[in-house]
Amino acid sequence: MSTSAARAWVEIDLPAIDRNVGRIKQALPPHVRYVAVVKANAYGHGMPEVATRLLQAGVDCFAVANVAEAAILREIGHDADILLLSPTLPTELARAVALGLDITLNSLAEAQALAALVRGRDRRAKVHVKVDTGMGRAGVWHEQAAELFAFVLAEPGLEWRGVYTHFSDADHDQAFTAEQRATFLRLLETIPAAARAGLLIHADNSAGLESFSAAAPFNAVRVGLMQYGLPPSAGSFLASLRPEPVLSFHARVVLVKDLPAGTAVSYNRTKVLSRPSRVAIVAVGYGDGVPTAASNRGHFLVRGMRCPILGRVTMDQTIVDVTDVPAVAVGDVVTILGAQGGDRITVAEFCAWSDCIPWEALCTLTQRVQRVYRTDRT
């Protein structure tokens, strides 16, 4: 698709995905399976296109949040393994089995419901058991995990394929992450060796890769943020892999005008112009994914220059100060995230003035923003 008619769009640099996956795979021992996390529309990048590219780049399988997301992957013909990361509702289990998904079990009740569903059928349900080692969210609490392991092992309708945990603080606290890892490793010891040998054993998200140990029994990683080109924290080993941002975010100037000093700009008059100013109205707002927190704080790039946001970000439009930018015209491309001229707005910067985290900045890009896929470097 051409961007010439678009008001607001994101460009997805598909070759950057190839390079990111290549670097991550190189950093991992060859036996470790790469579970590509493509939930939330592939972190806003567009699931069908990105998933297809990830497979071509050599990932082994997918993880999504729920059955509806998994169904999209099946509809476009991917028969790779798909792991459901969130608990599945009882009403969704039949569809999950029919789609051949790897269902995450978080409780004995869930396991019993699934076992009852497949009993007497010729199809077994594929399951991973998720253990809560300190996240306090999904997963069976670790003190009850052995009971769930035993149930799954004894139930012929359940095909036990994996066991995993999830870190709550891998991007901040290596000591707590190590504790979670140790709790999980102790629990693995309670699984009979024969059963354990066939399991996919995984714990690491992008930030977890920081402390990934090839010596441990882990044989898979679940990679989200890193494959989209964002290290979970700066200055880490992960940043040294030099992931490349895949997505950039742009919109067009739809109006340019001169306003006298003293004019209040946008809703609630939070900004009063201190000088006669030239302003550009940009066709992007919180209806597209620019949070109102960026009001009077963020900058957009126009003609390669940083232009401060004036006043409130509104649903459809944001106003920037272009007084010092020569020759701004209707139709000019404005960059909200990514490079323009010699400058770049990073996701980290965008997050700082928007009070959000990188995952959130990507996921909150709305459907109104067109996705444009670049298959080669331009």
Ligand X SMILES: *Cc1c(COP(=O)(O)O)cnc(C)c1O
Window 10 to 29, contacts with ligand X (CB under 6 A)? none
CB of 129 vs ligand X, minimal distance in Å: 13
**Rule CB under 6 A: is residue 166 a binding residue for ligand X?**
yes
Return the residue nearest ligand X (CB atom).
224
Among 12, 28, 85, 118, binds ligand X (CB under 6 A): 85
The b/e string for 178-195 (b: 16+ C-beta within 10 A; e otherwise) is: eebbebbbebbeebeeee
Answer yes or no: are the C-beta atoms of 203 and 211 closer than 8 Å.
no
- Span of 71-79, 222-230, 275-283, 315-323 interacting with ligand X by CB under 6 A: 222-230
Residues in 228-247 at the binding interface with ligand X, rule: CB under 6 A: 232
User: Minimal distance in Å, beta carbon 225 to ligand X?
Assistant: 4
Query: Is residue 37 close enough to count as binding ligand X by CB under 6 A?
Result: yes
Q: Minimum CB separation from ligand X for residue 178, in Å?
A: 18
Q: How far apart are CA 283 and CA 330, in angstroms?
A: 11
Asked if residue 222 binds ligand X (CB under 6 A), the reply is yes
Task: Choose one: 154-162, 218-226, 309-317, 344-352; the region binding ligand X (CB under 6 A).
Answer: 218-226
CB contact set of 120 (below 8 Å; sequence gap of 6+): none
Beta bridge partners of 265: 271
For tokens 């290549």, what's the residue? Answer: 22
Question: What residues numbered 275-314 form the site for ligand X, per CB under 6 A?
Answer: none
Question: Which one of 70, 131, 225, 251 is in contact with ligand X (CB under 6 A)?
Answer: 225
Taking contact as CB under 6 A, which single stretch among the options 217-225, 243-251, 258-266, 299-307 is the one that binds ligand X? 217-225
- When the beta carbons of 129 and 334 are compared against ligand X, the nearer one is 129
In the complex with ligand X, which residue's Cβ is closer, 160 or 164? Answer: 164
Q: What's the closest the beta carbon of residue 10 comes to ligand X, in angstroms?
A: 18
CB of 299 to ligand X, least distance (A): 26
Distance in Å, CB of 232 to ligand X, minimum = 6
Give the x/- contact pattern for ligand X in 170-209, rule: CB under 6 A: -----------------------------------xxx--
Comparing CB distances to ligand X, the nearer of 232 and 311 is: 232
Q: Closer to ligand X by CB, 134 or 224: give it.
A: 224
Phi, psi of 44 (to 5 degrees): 80, -5
**Binding status of residue 322 toward ligand X by CB under 6 A:** no
Structure tokens at 38: 């493509």
Catalytic residues: 39, 267
C-alpha to C-alpha distance for 263 and 236, rounded to whole angstroms: 46
* Binding footprint of ligand X, residue count (CB under 6 A): 14
Residue number with CB closer to ligand X (232 or 291): 232
Least distance from ligand X to the Cβ atom of residue 167, Å: 9
Which residues form the interface with ligand X (CB under 6 A)?
37, 39, 85, 166, 205-207, 222-226, 232, 359
